[in-house]
Structure 1
Amino acid sequence: ELGHGLIERFGPKQDGTRLSAYSQTRLPHIWLTQAFSNWFLHLIFTCLQDGQEPPAAMPGGFGNGLRYGWITALQNDPLFARWFAHAYAGVDPD
Structure 2
Amino acid sequence: MLFIFYKRMFALTRAFLDQIRSECEGAYSYSEYFGSLLSFNSHINSIVSQSMRALGIMARLTKPFNSHHCPLRLYSTHVRSKLEFASVVWNNISSSASESI
Which structure exhibits the higher relative contact order, with contacts defined as CA atoms closer than 8 Å and separated by 6 or more residues?
2
TM-score, normalising length from structure 2?
0.30
Structure having the larger proportion of residues in strand: 2
Structure having the larger proportion of residues in helix: 1
